[in-house]
Amino acid sequence: MSKIWTGRISKSTDKAVEEFTSSISIDKKLYLYDITGTAAHVIGLNKIGILSDDELKKIIAGLEKVKKKIELKEVRDVDNYEDIHSLVENELAIAIGKTAEKIHTGRSRNDQAVLDEKLFLKDALAGIISKIIFLQKNLIELAGKKINLAMPAYTHLQKAQPVLLSHYLLSFFEKFKRDINKFYEVFELNDCLPLGAAACTGSGYRIDRKFLKETLKFKYSDSNSMDIVASRDSLLDFIYCCSLVMIHLSRFCEDFIIYSSSEFSYIDIDETFCTGSSIMPQKKNPDILELIRGKSSIIIGNLMQIMVLIKGLPTTYNRDLQEDKKILFNAYEETYNSIEIFSKLLKKIKFNPNVIENSLKEGFLEATDIADYLVKKGESFRKSHNIVGRIVKYCIENDIQLKDLTLKELNKYSPYFGKDFYEKIELKSCINSKDVDCGTNKKQVIAKIESAKSVIKDWENKLEELCSRIPDFEELVRYNTVLK
């Protein structure tokens, strides 16, 4: 294995040790970020006179070669390298010879690894954000289409009150809205240049951090070298936010799994998103929804892993931190894929209006409106609540619905009941009576859909701005005056 730290240590490491300590099978995913970061670093070294113009040109040309070689999968024995950093340095040496020995001047793997992760996170954040926007668009489109469909709202999985399906869908829009805003925050937190920290006390060269910051398109610059190499806060925040999205998706899936049971039959999941049974010929199972629900546990566990890992460490860098990448990559990929596949499923979901509307007829969902009716007539709420409770009991015992009660029967419970009772407990009335700006009143819901659309526009603009803060190897090289 090619190592970059021999000298003091004379014995060669045990083969099993090499395999145990090697991270290349995981961190090779960072190759592009490592090369981009290295390019910026050497351009910086040239700027402060550590590398000559010729050396710089040679190195950049070499990095381009290494990049292509990796992309064409032409690097031999990738898994023999200790990590992505030594792979790049060694491959560069193969490509350009001894000049490669100069690239590690003024930095350490400790700050380099943080840089690679931060660059990866920029991409990952933009990716996740774009997927949530995609999901939100689908949600809003669906909410717009289904504006006339009412369904029962549930608390405790018991029918509570009638609600517009669109209002229900928008309740998830709110959840993902908070999530996306947090991801934007993580981008800001993450957008700090770590280079300059070196091993832990700062670079021994007066490298130009302001220049590096601009070159690598960071908005901010981290302040303390010991903190830089010791901390993984933006990574924790990222995984925390991933677990929040997954929790929210899991609840959505839980609803849909229940709604697609034959007992509910509110929705049909498109067959392309279902799988069958190996033994029961009649089965059509909502596997995608279950897998997302299952994966949410994995991501919560990922958060736990990184927190426990870091909790146990004394100051600055400890090798335990190497495990962070496996956790990070898994959280990113599973979350990204889950949002994407759920969005697609949502696009093809079929609601069964007849079933849903029928379900509104039973369960006394108008009960709260009746209590409110009595209050508006002059009764106190607590007493109204009790009266309606007893009326519902009477209905259950006699197997009738609230609308079937005669005025005479009603007046046994309260003199306040009048002819307008029957109108007030119609489905439409019950829905539109929730006329507050967070309620299910139809006009209010339509207004929310409109404002949601403009929020989505804002997100798209913001995402574009974020993307402009992601450095690109080609661009970075192209604009350097020495390299022109």
Token code pair at residue 228: 């830089």
The CB-of-295 to a second copy minimum distance in angstroms stands at 6
The CB-of-421 to a second copy minimum distance in angstroms stands at 14
> 358 or 474: whose CB is closer to a second copy?
358
> 388 or 463: whose CB is closer to a second copy?
388
The CB-of-474 to a second copy minimum distance in angstroms stands at 26
> 272 or 406: whose CB is closer to a second copy?
272
| Residue whose C-alpha is closest to residue 261's, from 283, 277, 228 | 283
104 annotated active-site: no
- Cα separation, 177 vs 445, in Å, equals 16
> 64 or 337: whose CB is closer to a second copy?
337
> 389 or 418: whose CB is closer to a second copy?
389
Query: CB under 8 Å, gap of 24 or more: what pairs does 414-417 form?
Result: 414/374, 414/379, 414/384, 414/387, 416/373, 416/374, 416/377, 416/378, 416/379, 417/373, 417/374
The CB-of-456 to a second copy minimum distance in angstroms stands at 14
- Cα separation, 2 vs 278, in Å, equals 49
> 120 or 255: whose CB is closer to a second copy?
255
> 70 or 163: whose CB is closer to a second copy?
163
What is the phi/psi pair of residue 275, to 5°?
-130, 165
Residue with tokens 């000049």, as numbered in its chain: 99
Distances (CA, A) of 321 to 21, 28, 108, 114, 223: 12, 16, 15, 10, 20
> 87 or 479: whose CB is closer to a second copy?
87
Distances (CA, A) of 2 to 12, 86, 208: 11, 7, 30
- Cα separation, 254 vs 248, in Å, equals 10
Catalytic residue, candidates 10, 156, 454, 468: 156
250 annotated active-site: no
The CB-of-70 to a second copy minimum distance in angstroms stands at 20
Catalytic residue, candidates 261, 277, 297, 451: 277
Residue-wise DSSP of 123-180:
HHHHHHHHHHHHHHHHHHHHHHHTTT-EEEEEETTEEEEEEEHHHHHHHHHHHHHHHH
Query: CB under 8 Å, gap of 24 or more: what pairs does 399-405 form?
Result: 401/361, 401/362, 401/364, 402/364, 402/366, 402/367, 402/370, 403/366
Distances (CA, A) of 165 to 145, 355, 368, 388, 452: 10, 13, 19, 26, 16
Question: Cβ(83)–Cβ(3) under 8 Å?
Answer: no
The CB-of-178 to a second copy minimum distance in angstroms stands at 5
The CB-of-114 to a second copy minimum distance in angstroms stands at 12
- Cα separation, 371 vs 366, in Å, equals 9
Token code pair at residue 84: 């992505």
The CB-of-256 to a second copy minimum distance in angstroms stands at 10
The CB-of-408 to a second copy minimum distance in angstroms stands at 20
Query: Helices then strands (H, E): number in the chain?
Result: 20, 6
> 11 or 484: whose CB is closer to a second copy?
11
| Residue whose C-alpha is closest to residue 57's, from 351, 469, 401, 480 | 480
Which residues are known to be catalytic?
Answer: 156, 277
